[in-house]
């Protein structure tokens, strides 16, 4: 295969031909079928909702500065619900798969596009359509049920816009189903010649496992919110205790989706981390097959643990014990990954560029998030910790410390590939450190708060908790500043950043063997793969330096 430099083609203006300059104007973007452009559409929309969700997070933190709260309790309920719904359904679930996965998966397997480009575009429109419903719900006064929509409050008593938000989530669920469908079919049918399953990059494995989870769980969410919506409209339904319905059944069905959804959010980020660790220490991932298989194992076992959210409901204690045991078991494949990443670092030639910092940040924070998960998975202890800030801290360590760190790490690693420009390294490192400090300052005090008994979803609290809450709010402010810096320099780099070579990191993988940014069909000739994953001997120096070897 010839190097990316020697293959580079030029358009009539003498500019290198890329997916970015193949077509101009709104039409060329909003009707595009190119997976890379759709990824960019997703990036802009996902970033927007991240900002909105972040603003709501800050409102929560501002309210909690004083024991008596700043907002009315009812307003506060709507604020944290909006924060939860937007962050979960409109940022965390689509962030890594729909942006990075969409952009990279076909390139990584040497395909020209995803299997169903039109369906891919449709998936973005469904996302926007679902988001529109949710935004209308928020503007019309918001939702006050919490993002979990527990019945019978959501079905019978709440007088907020549950219906609109439910419709939004139903639609956005189909958006992620279509993305998952596309990924699965693409990985199965469109791998380049020679690219066997165990030569696939671990990011592809992770996205494949995620897609499996999406496909098998999201339809259950769809029917659950449908039944909830029907119950709200018809004033009769199966979750209504007044006619003998069991609200806990709603919790079963909801968590049958929402626990696996945790893996939908974190598995692709784990895939990103595998790429970061391997490429930034120039070594094959230690125990490649185990890491690949652990993705599938997490996907499968993730379906068998949902009842750990129901320990304090009327759920049978016997089933509770089984769920507790299985929840401990699902930690094993995650632990395998963490062990293997650290083993990969051993004796590697490690560079501490921003992507790697995010990778290391992920490992540390996810470790804390995962270990505290074991606390709340223990039935007895959970009775004390359920619905306290301990749980909040736990899942923010997994979601922000895990998924967000993974997403940002991936964005930095592949930013040159996606945009053709380098981001400013010094700024990126500084921003990462600021975010890391801010994050820990925000959420570590919440472990203590929760352990001391501060319940979640309350607008007020006893005065003795104030110090810890002030720490937390200060941390959130620092985290927000760190995020703002990242957003600013990334946008700045779009015009002013140094031009990227095809392979600025000297990384292994097919995406680094095409130009930065790639041409519309990704490769000028379909690559034939004769090497294993993370084989750094096939990295061509001219792709790294950008100088054509004459």
Partner 1 sequence: MSNKVKSDEHSSAHGHGGRHPRLVHHFDSMEQQNEAGNFGMWWFLLTEIMFFGGMFTAYTVYRHMYFDAFAAASGALDIRWGAFNTVVLITSSLTMALGVYHAQMGNNKKLTMFLLLTVLLGGVFLGVKYIEYSAKFTEHIFPAASNFQWPPYEKPVAGHAETQQLADPVFTGHVKIYFFLYFVLTGFHATHMIIGMGILLVLAWQSWKGKFSKEYHSYIELFGLYWHFVDIVWIFLFPLLYLVDRHL
Partner 2 sequence: MSEHIVSKKVYYAIFAALLIGTALTIGAAFINLHNFNIVVALLIAAVKATLVIYFFMHVKYASRLTKLCVALGFIWLFIIVSITMTDYLTRGWFTYVP
Site of interaction with partner 1 (CB under 8 A):
9-12, 14, 17, 111-113, 115-117, 177, 181-182, 184-186, 188-190, 215-220, 222-224, 226-227, 230, 234-238, 242-246, 249, 252-253, 256, 521, 524-526, 548
As measured in angstroms, the least distance from the Cβ of 258 to partner 2 is: 13
318 binds partner 2 (CB under 8 A): yes
Spatial CB neighbours of 426, under 8 Å, sequence gap ≥ 6:
none
Give SS3 for 10: strand
Q: Of the candidates 442, 463, 325, which has an alpha carbon nearest to the alpha carbon of residue 389?
A: 442
Look up tokens 């079928």; give the residue.
Answer: 33
Assigned token pair, 30: 């909003």
Torsion of CA 473, 478, 480, 482, to 10 degrees: -160
As measured in angstroms, the least distance from the Cβ of 256 to partner 2 is: 6
Q: Please give the C-alpha separations between residue 344 and each of 274, 276, 349, 405, in angstroms, as whole numbers.
A: 9, 11, 10, 19
196 binds partner 2 (CB under 8 A): no
As measured in angstroms, the least distance from the Cβ of 132 to partner 1 is: 23
245 binds partner 2 (CB under 8 A): no
Closer by beta carbon to Cu ion, 332 or else 549: 332
Interface residue with partner 2, options 97, 106, 307, 482 (CB under 8 A)? 307
Assigned token pair, 336: 């395998």
As measured in angstroms, the least distance from the Cβ of 85 to partner 2 is: 24
As measured in angstroms, the least distance from the Cβ of 131 to partner 2 is: 28
Residue 17 touches which of partner 2, partner 1, Cu ion, none (Cβ within 5-8 Å per kind) = partner 1
Closer by beta carbon to partner 2, 286 or else 306: 306
252 binds partner 2 (CB under 8 A): yes
Strand (E) or helix (H) holding 70:
none
Residue 259 touches which of Cu ion, partner 2, partner 1, none (Cβ within 5-8 Å per kind) = Cu ion
As measured in angstroms, the least distance from the Cβ of 221 to partner 1 is: 9
Quote the CA–CA distance of 211 and 180 in Å, as a whole number.
4
Give SS3 for 519: coil
Spatial CB neighbours of 46, under 8 Å, sequence gap ≥ 6:
90, 91, 94, 95, 98, 99
Q: Please give the C-alpha separations between residue 206 and each of 210, 270, 314, in angstroms, as whole numbers.
A: 6, 7, 35
User: CB nearest Cu ion: which residue?
Assistant: 259
259 binds Cu ion (CB under 5 A): yes
CB 3 within 8 A of CB 543: yes
299 binds partner 2 (CB under 8 A): no
Closer by beta carbon to partner 1, 477 or else 545: 545
Spatial CB neighbours of 23, under 8 Å, sequence gap ≥ 6:
29, 32
Closer by beta carbon to partner 2, 298 or else 393: 298
Provide the binding-site residues for partner 2, judged by CB under 8 A: 188, 216, 220, 248-249, 252-253, 256, 303-304, 307, 314-319, 322
- Interface residue list for Cu ion (CB under 5 A): 259
């Amino acid at each position: 295969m010839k190097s990316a430099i020697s293959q580079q083609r030029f358009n009539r203006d003498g500019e290198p031909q890329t997916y970015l300059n193949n077509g101009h104007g709104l039409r060329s973007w909003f009707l595009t079928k190119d997976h890379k452009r759709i990824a960019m559409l997703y990036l802009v929309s996902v970033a927007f909702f991240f900002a909105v969700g972040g603003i709501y997070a800050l409102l929560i933190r501002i309210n909690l500065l004083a024991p008596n709260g700043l907002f009315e309790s009812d307003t506060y309920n709507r604020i944290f619900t909006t924060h939860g719904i937007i962050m979960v359904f409109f940022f965390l679930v689509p962030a890594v798969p729909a942006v990075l996965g969409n952009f990279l998966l076909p390139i990584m397997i040497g395909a020209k596009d995803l299997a169903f480009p039109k369906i891919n575009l449709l998936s973005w429109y469904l996302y926007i359509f679902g988001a529109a419903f949710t935004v209308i719900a928020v503007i019309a006064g918001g939702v006050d049920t919490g993002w979990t929509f527990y019945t019978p409050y959501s079905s019978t008593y709440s007088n907020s816009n549950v219906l609109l938000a439910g419709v939004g989530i139903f639609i956005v669920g189909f958006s992620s189903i279509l993305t998952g469908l596309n990924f699965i079919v693409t990985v199965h049918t469109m791998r380049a010649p020679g690219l066997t399953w165990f030569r696939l990059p671990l990011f592809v494995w992770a996205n494949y496992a995620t897609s499996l989870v999406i496909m098998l769980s999201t339809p259950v969410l769809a029917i659950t919110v449908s039944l909830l919506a029907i119950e709200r409209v018809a004033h009769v339904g199966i979750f209504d205790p007044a006619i003998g319905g069991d609200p806990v059944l709603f919790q079963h069905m909801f968590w049958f989706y929402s626990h696996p959804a945790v893996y939908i959010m974190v598995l692709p980020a784990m895939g990103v981390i595998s790429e970061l660790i391997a490429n930034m220490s120039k070594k094959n991932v230690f125990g490649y097959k185990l890491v690949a298989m652990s993705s599938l194992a997490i996907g499968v076992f993730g379906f068998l643990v949902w009842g750990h959210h129901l320990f304090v409901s009327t759920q049978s204690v016997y089933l509770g014990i089984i769920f507790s045991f299985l929840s401990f078991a699902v930690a094993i494949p995650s632990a395998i990954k963490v062990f293997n990443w650290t083993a990969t670092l051993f004796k590697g030639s490690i560079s501490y560029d921003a992507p790697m910092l995010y990778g290391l940040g992920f490992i540390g924070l996810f470790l804390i998030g995962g270990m505290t998960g074991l606390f709340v998975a223990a039935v007895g202890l959970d009775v004390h910790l359920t619905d306290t800030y301990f749980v909040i801290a736990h899942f923010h360590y997994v979601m922000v410390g895990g998924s967000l760190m993974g997403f940002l790490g991936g964005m930095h690693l592949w930013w040159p590939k996606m945009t053709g420009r380098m981001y400013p390294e010094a700024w990126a490192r500084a921003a990462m450190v600021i975010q890391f400090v801010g994050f820990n300052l925000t959420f570590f005090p919440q472990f203590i708060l929760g352990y001391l008994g501060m319940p979640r979803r309350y607008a007020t609290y006893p005065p003795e908790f104030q110090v810890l809450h002030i720490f937390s709010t200060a941390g959130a402010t620092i985290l927000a500043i760190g995020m703002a810096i990242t957003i600013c320099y990334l946008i700045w780099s779009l015009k002013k950043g140094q031009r990227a070579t095809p392979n600025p990191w000297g990384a292994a993988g097919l995406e680094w063997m095409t130009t930065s940014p790639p041409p519309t069909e990704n490769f000028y000739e379909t690559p034939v793969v004769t090497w294993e994953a993370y084989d750094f001997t096939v990295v061509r120096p001219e792709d790294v330096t950008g100088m054509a070897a004459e």
